[in-house]
Structure formats: structure tokens, C-alpha cells
Structure 1
Amino acid sequence: MFDYIRSRNRAAVVFMISLAVFVPALVMPRSGEDLVVRKMILFLSLGAMLISGVWLIVRWDEARRLMRLRSGEGVLARWMIDPARWAWFRHHSNEWDKLENVRPNDADLAQPPGQAGIEVVVTRDGILIGEDFRPLEKDVGITVRADWIEFYQIIPKADGPPLHMVLRLPLQPGSESLAAEVQQAYQRAYHAAKSSRHPAIYVLLFCFVGLPAVTLLIWYVAKVTGWTE
């Protein structure tokens, strides 16, 4: 089972190590003898720093969602699935996964429910099924059936086809209204985000302010340290 907090911590360690290598290699006095080695260290550490920085930003956001959920912040619905219903749904889900044109269920139904069963907690940006946490975006598709609910999320990739995440899980009798409330809450959040101009403003600020500022900073440091004439 994926551990978002541990992954965030690993990304932070890699970022700090690459930063600790990059900065001394950049600012220490140069000499002709070690110039080739210094350039290689600079390029490798800079690449590691950029990649781990993006990794850290993504994992930091996911870990923050999980910690907010565990603290009870922004909870939309919470219900328990008893062991008998969990086993019943797991059997049916395994059969559905064998059908053509049906995407397999990505929820970890192999979890042992224990005597109390499995708790499901849904917030505005994530879902926790037992110990299985998944981030959710505002555009997630939610289908509510008589006795189960499905979350369908398309995750774009920089290259190649997008990833498809499907989470199907049972509803305990009496929790059908909670599922409908979750569906309506995400629909309202999606329409509100769609009509908002804030994301476009953030993109424009990043392109026309953030990138030039970072480029200018790198050039200035390189100029001061003598890497550019």
C-alpha cells in the first residue's frame, strides 16, 4: 500500500541532498583543473534538484490532504462497512474485473476488515478506504448505485496516455444518502472551479513572473560566481 507521507519525506531528503551538492559546487572558487568535474556535478545535481523538487511538491500536496483527512478537516461523509458486506463486495468486484470493457477496481479490497469492519472517509480532495488513501480532484466522476459507489478519475501524463483510476466500494445499508451528498458536493465544487478564473491567473503569473524570476536569479548567481563572463 502506497505511503504518501513516507514518499514526501524521501522526496525532501533527495531535494536537500542535491541542493547541498549543487550550492557548494556553484559558489566555491574555480580552478582549471577541476572545471570539467565541477560542471558535471553542477548539471547532475541541478537535474536531481529539479526532478526531486517537482516530486516533493506533488507528494507534499498529497500528504497534506491525507493529514487533513485524518484530523477530520473537510470530511464530507464517513461510514463503516461490516466484514460480511466487505467480503460480499470483494467477491463481486473480482468477478466484474474479469469482464470486457470494465476497468479493474483500484481500491485495495484485499485489506482484512477486522471485527469492526472497514471505515470509509471522504473529504473534498481525497478518500480513505481503511488504510488505502487516494487523492481526488474536483473533476472526479462519481456514480452512485443502490448498494455501491464508484469514483472515476482521469490522471493526465506529460507523455503517453493518461492514467485511469477506478475506485468501487460498497455502501452500508443506510449510507446511501451520504453517497448522494458526496456526489453533489463534488459536482458543486467542479462547477465553481470551472467558472473561476483563479487557475488561469496562477498559470499566467507562473509563466510571466515566476519563470523569468527564477531564470534571472540563476543568471545572477552564475554571474557573481564567475560562471558567466
Structure 2
Amino acid sequence: MLDSVRARNRSAVVFLISLAVFVPALLIPRSGDDHSVRIMILTFSFAVMLFSAVWLLVRGDEARRLIRLRAGQGILARWTIDAARWEWFRRHSQEWDKQKGLHPNDADFTQIPGDAGIEVVVSRDGILIGADFHPLEIDVRITVRADWMEFNQVIPKPNGPAFRVVLRLPLQPGWEHLAAEVSQAYQRVTDARKSDRRPLIYIALFCFVGLPAVTGLVWLILKVTGWVE
């Protein structure tokens, strides 16, 4: 179980260190004819910087969702699972995980509930199970059972099978209606997003404005520093 805020901070440190190595190696005027060591430093630092930047974006988004949830923003439901029910469902979950063709439960049931039990908080873009946080997208598929519920998140990948996150967790007796309320809330958000064209506008701006601007900036830096004629 990895804390999203700590993961964001670590990736930010790696990004800043790689940036601090890459920029001087690029901007310091060239001297001599052998640039093999300098090119190696540039290549390695750029690769680390690129990877850490992507990781920073991912973890930064998760951290923002977690911070909003902890601040009480967009909360849809909140309930507490007592220790007996947590242990009961943990045993069932372990048996289900052994079934062929059934995706294992990604919720962290190794957590030990205290006297107050395990608190579950569901917001519009994430779920916190004790100390275990998972971001959720609006297209998450929610299945409501009699005394438990399942969140099934499918994240497509360009190559290979899609990445899946499946969270199964129990409902405390007397609070079963919360599952239906969460499902209906996500359905309303999904219906509202279908008519929202802003994502398409953002993609178009990135393709026709952002990419040319970044390409021009990189070329200008290379031209000024003498890497290209």
C-alpha cells in the first residue's frame, strides 16, 4: 500500500534532480570534439526526467484526489466496517480470489481494524478504505449485492490487455442503501459528462498549440546552444 502523497513527493524529487542534471548539460557551451560523455549524461537524465514526469502526473492526480477526499469535498458515502464483519468478508474474499476467471480483490484486507473498525469513504473520484486509497473514474462499473459491493475499473492500454482494478468491500448492516446511492451518483456524473465537449477542446489545443510550441522551444534551445546548425 503506497501513499499517493508520498509517491508524488518522491517522483517530484526525482524529476527535479534529473532536470537539474539535464539543463546544465544542455546549456553549457560545447568545447572540444569529444561529446560522448556529455551525450550519455543528456540521454540518461532526459530518460529519467521523462519517466519521472509521467509518474509525477499520475501520482499528482492521485494525491489531489486523496487530498480533496480528506478535506470532505465531493463525499458520496461514508460508513464503518466493524472488526467482525471485516474478518468475515476477508475470508470470503480470499476464497473468491482463488476462483478461476475471477479477478482478485485489489482492496487491502491485510489492514487490522482497530476498536472503531475500518472507515470507508467514497467520493466522486476515489475511495478510501482505511488507509488504502484508490482513484476512481466516472466510467467505473459498480455492482451492488445484498451486503457488499464491487467497483470494477478498466483502464485501456495502447498495447496488451487492459489494466483492471477490482475492489470488493462489505456493507455494514443497516447501511446497504449507501451502495445504491453511490451507484446512482456515478451514473448521474457519467450522463452529465457525455454532453461535455471540453475534453475534446483540450485535446485539440494540446495537438495544435501545445506540441508545436514545445517543439519550437526545444529547437530554439538546441539552436542557441549550438547542437544544431
Q: TM-score, normalised by structure 1?
A: 0.96
Partner of 1:198: 198
Q: Which runs of 5+ in 2 are unaligned?
A: none
Does 25-34 or 124-133 show the bigger shift? 25-34
Partner amino acid, structure 2, of 1:49: M
Segments of structure 1 that go 5 or more residues without pairing to the other structure are: none
CA offsets 1:8-48 (integer angstroms, 9 cap, x no match): 11110111011101111111111124422222222221222
SS at structure 1 position matched to 2:152: strand
Question: What's the CA shift string for 1:95-144, capped at 9, x where partnerless?
Answer: 22222332211111121111111100000000000111001000000011
Q: How does 1:75-154 map to 2 (within 5 A)?
A: 75-154=75-154
How do 1:38-77 and structure 2 match up within 5 A?
38-77=38-77
Q: How far is 1:158 from its partner?
A: 3.6
Task: Tell me the distance in 1 between the aligned counterparts of 2:89 and 2:49.
Answer: 44
| One-letter amino acid matched to 1:114 | G
Q: Hey, which bits of structure 1, 4+ residues long, moved more than 3 A?
A: none
**Corresponding residue SS for 1:183:** helix
| Pair 1:185 & 2:169 matched | no
Who is 2:28 aligned against? 28
CA distance in 2, matches of 1:30, 1:38: 9
Q: What amino acid sits opposite 1:109 in the alignment? A: F
What amino acid sits opposite 2:5 in the alignment? I
* Range that drifts further, 107-116 or 34-43: 34-43
Letter in 1 for 2:215: T
Superposition RMSD on alpha carbons, in Å?
A: 1.2
CA distance in 2, matches of 1:128, 1:181: 17
In 1, distance between residues paired with 2:52 and 2:187?
A: 34
What amino acid is the match of 1:9? N
Structure 1: how far apart are the matches of 2:13 and 2:35? 27
- Structure 1: distance between partners of 2:43 and 2:87: 53
| Secondary structure of residue in 2 paired with 1:58 | helix
CA distance in 2, matches of 1:163, 1:139: 14
Equivalents in 1 of 2:138, 2:35: separation in Å? Answer: 50
Q: Residues of 2 paired with 1:57 and 1:100: CA distance?
A: 35
Which amino acid letter does the alignment assign opposite residue 228 of structure 1? V
1:39 aligned partner, one-letter code: I
1:166 aligns with 2:166: yes
Amino acid at match of 1:203: I
Farther-moved stretch of structure 1 (212-221 vs 83-92): 83-92
Between Structure 1 and Structure 2, how many residues are aligned?
229
Aligned partners of 2:148 and 2:91: how far apart in 1? 13
* CA distance in 2: counterparts of 1:222 and 1:77, whole angstroms: 53
Shift of 1:156: 2.0
